[in-house]
Amino acid sequence: MCGINTEEETKIPWGWKAPWKRNNTQISSEDWKQRLPQSIIIGVRKGGTRALLEMLSLHPQVAAAHSEVHFFNVEENYRKGLGWYSQQMPISHPTQITVEKTPGYFSSLKAPERIHAMDNSMKLLLIVRDPVERLVSDYTQILHNRKARHKPYQALEQILLRQGQELNTRYKAMQRSLYALHLARWLEFFPRSQIHVVDGGTLIREPLSEMRHVEHFLGLEPYLGPDNFYFNQTKGFYCLQAKGYQHCLDQSKGRPHPTVDEVLLEQLCTYFSEHNENFFAMVGRTFNWC
Ligand SMILES: Nc1ncnc2c1ncn2[C@@H]1O[C@H](COP(=O)(O)OS(=O)(=O)O)[C@@H](OP(=O)(O)O)[C@H]1O
């Protein structure tokens, strides 16, 4: 049910491959090569990682890997070594920073140490979202995949309240919403100043304000502006535009969530509240979560 979950999006080719970046004839061709990332979006899964990567990719100083690489969290990939990893990266110019996103890194036990061993100056981006909403979003994706494969599925209430009224806290999607637990492992290896936390809720409602913080954290020149975002009524989300090109995230983003029992939602909020408080203390800010 869980595992790597490479999901639909990793199979979809990047049809919208930053077309406005292609015509830079002043830069000599030998400067263009694949480089290891200087920044990684480590998660959280269903937090808005794809939106963050695509918005970042609008910036001319950013070269983004289109597919999730799963290098530091999947043994089979990690064994292939850094040479393989760099081959998964886009061609970039020295004036650009390379960015990859793999949401599975955040909850991986080994990723923090491995990334630190590769580059202890790595700039980490973590996008978070209300843990209950994230859980429902995660469940929605799992449900979608199971239905698509004609596999049996259960309602979230059945999964989470399996033992009568006790919450099944061992459910993987529950575990992934325990942000403080996972962040603690990253802070063993990286100073807080190297981890920028993006508010996934704000990124949905006001993408530009969140992206300005991200530009600043990455040391990029301020570039993104209001013209890069337009609200798409049909999609119900902001979509992106640059130099005449427009792009919305694919249909695996913004799927309708199933209705979840109110009592269960209350139970979940109560369960996560202590973990959320710990997370707020660790990152030095609060979020308007349930
Ligand atoms: N602009 C825009 N367009 C579409 N979707 C947006 C956008 N900004 C944020 N989001 C939210 O991103 C959620 C998916 O998160 P991820 O991309 O991290 O998912 S994944 O882990 O890579 O599968 C996805 O969650 P769901 O709504 O539950 O599908 C969206 O709420």
Inter-axis angle of helices 131-148 and 262-283, to 10 degrees? 120
Least confident range of 21-30, 232-241, 269-278: 21-30
Check if 203 has its Cβ closer than 6 Å to any atom of ligand 1: yes
- Could you tell me if 88 and 67 are in contact, meaning their C-beta atoms sit under 8 angstroms apart? yes
- Could you tell me if 251 and 238 are in contact, meaning their C-beta atoms sit under 8 angstroms apart? no
- The HSE-up count of residue 160 (CA atoms within 13 Å, CB side) is 22
- Could you tell me if 132 and 272 are in contact, meaning their C-beta atoms sit under 8 angstroms apart? yes
Average pLDDT across the chain, whole number: 91
Q: What's the gap in Å between 286 CA and the centre of ligand 1?
A: 21
What is the tens place of the pLDDT at every residue in 73-94? 999 999 999 999 999 999 999 9
Q: What global pTM score does this model have?
A: 0.92
Check if 102 has its Cβ closer than 6 Å to any atom of ligand 1: no
Helix (H, G, I), strand (E, B) or coil at 277: helix
| DSSP result, 69-138 | ---SS-HHHHTTHHHHHHHTSPEE-TTSEEEEE-GGGTT-SSHHHHHHHH-TTPEEEEEE--HHHHHHHH
- Could you tell me if 136 and 257 are in contact, meaning their C-beta atoms sit under 8 angstroms apart? yes
CA torsion, points 127, 237, 217, 37, in degrees to nearest 10? 70
In the chain, count of helices (H) and strands (E)? Answer: 11, 10
Q: Where are the alpha helices (DSSP H) in 149-260?
A: 156-160, 172-175, 179-187, 200-205, 207-218
Q: Looking at residue 164, what is its pLDDT? A: 67
- Three-class HEC string of 184-209: HHHHCCCCHHHEEEEEHHHHHHCHHH
Return the best residue to mutate from 46, 172, 238, 240 for the ligand 1 pocket (most ligand atoms within 8 A of CB): 46
Task: Kindly tell me if the per-residue pLDDT of 6 is higher than 60.
Answer: no
pLDDT band at 11 (very low <50, low <70, confident <90, very high): very low
Task: Kindly tell me if the per-residue pLDDT of 132 is higher than 90.
Answer: yes
Q: Looking at residue 31, what is its pLDDT? A: 86
Q: What is the mean pLDDT of residues 146-157?
A: 95
Q: Looking at residue 213, what is its pLDDT? A: 98
Q: What's the gap in Å between 264 CA and the centre of ligand 1?
A: 23
Amino acid at 79: R
- Write the residue with the smallest CA distance to atom 29 of ligand 1: 254
Q: Looking at residue 34, what is its pLDDT? A: 97
Task: Kindly tell me if the per-residue pLDDT of 155 is higher than 60.
Answer: yes
What is the tens place of the pLDDT at every residue in 89-115? 999 999 999 999 999 999 999 999 999
What is the tens place of the pLDDT at every residue in 177-234? 999 999 999 999 999 999 999 999 999 999 999 999 999 999 999 999 999 999 999 9
- Could you tell me if 257 and 143 are in contact, meaning their C-beta atoms sit under 8 angstroms apart? no
Q: Which residues are catalytic?
A: 46
State ipTM. 0.99
Q: Looking at residue 41, what is its pLDDT? A: 98
